[in-house]
A and B are shown apart, each in its own frame.
Chain A
Amino acid sequence: MNSPNAPPPIERVLFTAEQIDARVREVAAQISADFAGRELKLVAVLKGSVFFLTALARHITVPLRVDFLAISHFTNQPGAPGVVRIAKDLDDAIEGEHVLLVEDIVDTGFTTRYLLQNLAGRGPASLGLCTLLDRTSRRIARTPINYSCFEIPDRFVVGFGLDHKQLYRNLDCIAVIRPE
């Protein structure tokens, strides 16, 4: 555990708070235009996507609802769940609704593919994906991304919801951390 007083091990800032704000506004405007005249449901994945969801939702101008889900996470420990499953499901059904899955980062695409498959099976009128960060260099599962704020290099990043050992989610920028 890092010392509470230790500064974040930031190597460099990739995107400042101002850059993030400007880009989120652009993407929100695009979403508002695409869904004009319709009602939208934003579905965010706990926990990392919450910061992006709130920033995005504030700038979207069409009527919208939000809902959350969480999934089990992979661990190599004995006795851990063997396959991915929904750990916290949506509160409401999405059948017939226009749904936008909001992700903090799409990396290998494993998690996003699983979530999209799961949501698609619930009969939404449409299903799209909006991500804050898109790291294409490690993509395995091809994932259709409708809205992406930033493409990032092959580095481990934190901030704006992304963590390292649950820390640094509250950074207002997106930064590369120094490897330990």
Chain B
Amino acid sequence: MAIISVSGDPGCAHEDLARAIAQRTGCELVTRSELEEMIAADFGNQQIPDRAWPPLLRSAIGRLAVNRHVVYSLEGGERLFHGFPGVLCVLLIASPARRIGAVMVDRQVDREAARRFLRQREIEVLAECKRRFGRGHSRLHEFDLILNDHQQSPEMLASVVEAAIQSRGLLEQGTLSAAAEAQVQFLARLQLAKFGLTPPDRAPAERNGFGHPTEEIFARLLDFYRIEWQYEPRSFPLQWDKDGHVMEAFTPDFFLPAFDLYVELTTMKQALVTKKNRKIRLLRTIYPHVNIQVFYQKDIQDLIVKYELAERASAH
């Protein structure tokens, strides 16, 4: 199996690196928010003690790793599978100037505000790691590979990680065997038992079954620009009967956590979108805090023309 953990200080492009590694190697990218959603789906609103997070994350990643190679980016993630065979732990470091620059652009703030934000994030991450793992700082000897992103793109860095994966033959060794996964789950159950938590036997881990080819192209476009996305992560109830049962709901196609934005693609002809437009209006009325961007058939056609998806790539 291959389980690739990618860590980095706040402001490092470690999530971009994880995405680039997934692109190059065919490993499946699992984001922090996806893992948290898996755990929320298993345990609902149940309060999760901090120290229960490591075995819960191990259990969730272990279930995914049964039928795919996995790359994840998570603060302190290198500690989850320490000592397991088939695991590669990568640390991405960057100069303070580079990290501050990244925050300036991401948050559209000046240098001083970015510096303050970064400091605050560092404190929060350290505190969270300490609560969850018992210590804040990572230990360098727990990493297999330490990379400096100075003047190197995530794509270049991903090629280094890919070489490390190949040299260890991680992808050739197959995914996590049933016996190994059972061991992971057994240990997780043992550790979780003291918190009164029981993980499910198997996760319904099939994901990303796109409803339309356009959605798959859009997902690839987001991957190309290293933008994290989730496919149909949430349904919004729009109408209820007198007993409170949901009569009508709307499920946007994508959620982009970096922009706190839902995106709905519609390939229907403009004349036929009235019903969908009504739903979107209702959604905006009932959930005014939810940001949603709608791409109509014409927008999608323009994207197809712009990127010449029917033929070849172009420079616009």
Residues of A bordering B, CB below 8 Å = 46-48, 70, 73-77, 80-86, 104-105, 107-108, 110-111, 113-114, 116-118, 120-123, 127, 137-142, 144, 154-156, 162-166, 179-180
Contacts of A163 in B (CB 8 A): 314-316
Contacts of A138 in B (CB 8 A): 293, 295, 299, 302
Compute how far the CA of A86 lies from the CA of B152 in the bound complex, rounded to whole angstroms. Answer: 10
Residues of B bordering A, CB below 8 Å = 13, 19-20, 23-24, 94, 97-98, 101-102, 104-106, 108, 149, 153-156, 158, 217, 220-221, 223-227, 256, 258-259, 261, 263, 293, 295, 298-299, 301-303, 305-309, 312-316
Compute how far the CA of A85 lies from the CA of B314 in the bound complex, rounded to whole angstroms. Answer: 15
**Are A142 and B225 touching (Cβ within 8 A)?**
no
Compute how far the CA of A122 lies from the CA of B298 in the bound complex, rounded to whole angstroms. Answer: 38
Instruction: Knowing A76-B309, A156-B306, say if A123 contacts B97 (CB, 8 Å).
Output: yes
Binding site of B, secondary structure by majority: helix, strand, loop or mixed? helix
**Are A75 and B23 touching (Cβ within 8 A)?**
no
Instruction: Knowing A48-B315, A75-B312, A140-B259, say if A117 contacts B105 (CB, 8 Å).
Output: yes
Contacts of A127 in B (CB 8 A): 104-105
**Are B24 and A154 touching (Cβ within 8 A)?**
no
Candidates B23, B106, B149, B298; contact of A83 at CB < 8 Å: B23
Contacts of B227 in A (CB 8 A): 110, 141
**Are B108 and A142 touching (Cβ within 8 A)?**
yes
**Are B315 and A46 touching (Cβ within 8 A)?**
yes
Contacts of A108 in B (CB 8 A): 303
**Are A73 and B105 touching (Cβ within 8 A)?**
no
Contacts of B154 in A (CB 8 A): 83
**Are B217 and A82 touching (Cβ within 8 A)?**
no
**Are A123 and B98 touching (Cβ within 8 A)?**
yes
**Are B259 and A47 touching (Cβ within 8 A)?**
no
How many A-B pairs have beta carbons closer than 8 Å: the answer is 123
Instruction: Knowing A138-B299, A141-B259, A154-B298, say if A75 contacts B308 (CB, 8 Å).
Output: yes
Q: A76-B217, A140-B256 are in contact. List 12 more A-B contacts (CB 8 A).
A: A48-B316, A70-B315, A74-B307, A83-B224, A116-B105, A117-B101, A117-B105, A120-B104, A120-B105, A123-B98, A142-B259, A180-B305
**Are A85 and B299 touching (Cβ within 8 A)?**
no
**Are A111 and B313 touching (Cβ within 8 A)?**
no
Compute how far the CA of A113 lies from the CA of B226 in the bound complex, rounded to whole angstroms. Answer: 11
Compute how far the CA of A48 lies from the CA of B315 in the bound complex, rounded to whole angstroms. Answer: 8
Compute how far the CA of A81 lies from the CA of B159 in the bound complex, rounded to whole angstroms. Answer: 12
Candidates A76, A83, A116; contact of B155 at CB < 8 Å: A83
Compute how far the CA of A122 lies from the CA of B97 in the bound complex, rounded to whole angstroms. Answer: 8
Contacts of A86 in B (CB 8 A): 153
Instruction: Knowing A82-B23, A142-B259, A156-B302, say if A74 contacts B221 (CB, 8 Å).
Output: yes
Residue of A nearest to B94 (CB): A121
Candidates B256, B299, B313; contact of A154 at CB < 8 Å: B299
Compute how far the CA of A122 lies from the CA of B105 in the bound complex, rounded to whole angstroms. Answer: 12
Compute how far the CA of A121 lies from the CA of B19 in the bound complex, rounded to whole angstroms. Answer: 19
Compute how far the CA of A149 lies from the CA of B104 in the bound complex, rounded to whole angstroms. Answer: 24
**Are B313 and A80 touching (Cβ within 8 A)?**
yes
Candidates A85, A105, A140; contact of B263 at CB < 8 Å: A140
Instruction: Knowing A75-B307, A121-B98, say if A110 contacts B313 (CB, 8 Å).
Output: no
Candidates A76, A104, A123, A166; contact of B314 at CB < 8 Å: A166
**Are A113 and B225 touching (Cβ within 8 A)?**
yes
